[in-house]
Amino acid sequence: PLGLGMGSGGCGRWEEEKKEDGVKWMQLEHRGPYFVPLYEPLPEDVQFYYDGKPLKLSLATEEIATFYAKMLHHEYTTKEIFQNNFFHDWRKGMTSEEQEIIKDLDKCDFREIHKYFVEQNEARKALPKEEKQKLKEEADKIQEEYGYCILDGHREKIANFKTEPPGLFRGRGEHPKMGMLKKRIMPEDVTINCSRDSKIPEPPEGHKWKEVRFDNTVTWLASWTENINNSLKYIMLNPSSKLKGEKDWQKYEVARRLKDVVHEIRAQYRRDWKSKEIKKRQRAVALYFIDKLALRAGNEKEEGETADTVGCCSLRVEHIQLHPQLDGQEHVVEFDFLGKDSIRYYNKVSVEKPVFRNLQLFMKNKDPTDDLFDHLTTTFLNKHLQHLMDGLTAKVFRTYNASITLQEQLKALTNPEDNVAGKLLSYNRANRAVAILCNHQRSIPKTFAKSMQVLQEKIDTKKKQVEEAQEEVKKAEDEYEDTKDAKAEANVEKKKKLLKRLEEQLAKLNIQATDKEENKQIALGTSKLNYLDPRISVAWCKKFGIPIERIYNKTQREKFAWAIDMAGEDFEF
């Protein structure tokens, strides 16, 4: 139930009758997941070689070999841990005869198989238009059949209606399980969730479901456990669906509520820096980091199960260095650790003196691998946050600080006199401030240098055109000086108009180049989709006459339909 004020603007579909607590739907009907096609054996003339000799593999062994072959020129297959995990899992799938022969990955030659898949790929790209159209129609047919469900009388789109194909697990960063075999999902692994009175989906012929449930307190349609991390995977509704839209909207409403109490919370953790209990002090310093630096909370994890990544509560002594003075600033904390998805967080921050003093205390007589906040767990922290405000977690701070930063930056950076390109540059700069706050990085795209070069060539060409147009204007003006006739005067105007248009085009290209350069290592998308209240962007577009499609693409506009309906130009987060 959403007991929330609507902001400005009406919003029909988001406001239908409310259900009782915990109930997410009354009716749910769907076709179940679409299972990816079974393995097709390689042609006879494509061979695997062991120790220089061709070796015919059994079907199961061959399938796993193709997973590795497809990745032959990938960075992953150069990593020892990937190779070892793959070889271990591959041998498990072999026949006993194959296990006797294949004992050394270095003697395996996958090159012919790799070449075959590269050629298949090229052939697909080179298909004539009609063939491509036919394939698209087949995919659309599957989408029509499996990609929608009926939820409380609405036909809603499903996000991921296909099961994941088998393959080799990649993981992010130095994941200890990379290279392990992701098994094929069978109907026998799948739990179906739908309403009791609906047409229950039929499993593929000769198979049965693991279980059929009628649980209307959850929003997933099907689930299974994947074999690498033993985690549950779900088939969910598309972000554009009413259910997801409501959830998204609620998330930002919780963050907006934080705005009213954040001053009290800050005053409270400042008081706790001086607490007699070390536990409270640690909680207060951690909360300061979560608030000021938008750090993630950092849950406790099983060792050896995942990459060694940390968040605020799981920081170790080795992850920070204290500098009483650095680069002309006092009380500087230097952070260096791997955060979520093994993305490095590196930052030097000047903190308040009591925080610095407390950190010195927390680090005293500890080894580098000891926990910095040894008296603190995320559970203890989140309990405290829940006590401060209903629904408050560490993530809400990230959402709140991200959204408030965007709103403030847009106010500071947008010049109403700018043209659309100039305003969009300001928007991206505001978005970038948020991405930097949240540490959303990306590696420089492989195509960056090439596309930058192409853009630079365009700029050079345009500069030449501008110079030529300036010459033309001067010529026309001289001619008018000599003759003073109306035709020559009209010609001056015409040439000036052309010059103005070319100058505008050049300015636009220059803005593009600046934007591209500034964004090469920053991922703007993550914060835009997950941390920024879309109503801030919608209101900004409406206020400055920017078409919304310049900010959000079609998929994003569907996801944020609720915000586009709801926010007027005067919306304040």
Amino acid at 143: Q
- Of 148, 345, 531, 552, the catalytic one is 531
Considering only CA atoms, give the Rg of the chain. 30
Determine the length of the chain. 573
- Residue 235: beta bridge partners? 222
**Is 531 annotated in the active site?**
yes
Burial class (CB in 10 A: 0-12, 13-18, 19+), 163: buried
| Residue 8 token pair | 């400005």
Please give the Cα distance from 157 to 555 (Å, whole number): 12
What dihedral angle (degrees, nearest 10) is formed by the CA atoms of 423, 426, 430, 435? 110
Rounded to 10°, the helix 278-293/353-363 angle is 120
How do strand 211-213 and strand 191-193 relate by DSSP bridges?
parallel
CA atoms 370, 372, 374, 379: torsion sign: negative
Answer whether 133's CB lies under 8 Å from 100's CB.
Answer: no
| Residue 471 token pair | 């010459």
What dihedral angle (degrees, nearest 10) is formed by the CA atoms of 468, 472, 478, 481? -150
Please give the Cα distance from 226 to 169 (Å, whole number): 11
Please give the Cα distance from 526 to 308 (Å, whole number): 22
Angle at 569 between CA 564 and CA 573, to 5 degrees: 80
Count of other CB atoms within 10 angstroms of residue 356: 19
Inter-CA distances, 483 with 61, 469, 472, 489, 512, Å: 88, 21, 17, 9, 42
C-alpha closest to that of 105 among 116, 120, 118, 94: 94
Please give the Cα distance from 270 to 284 (Å, whole number): 7
Report, as residue numbers or ranges, the catalytic residues. Answer: 531
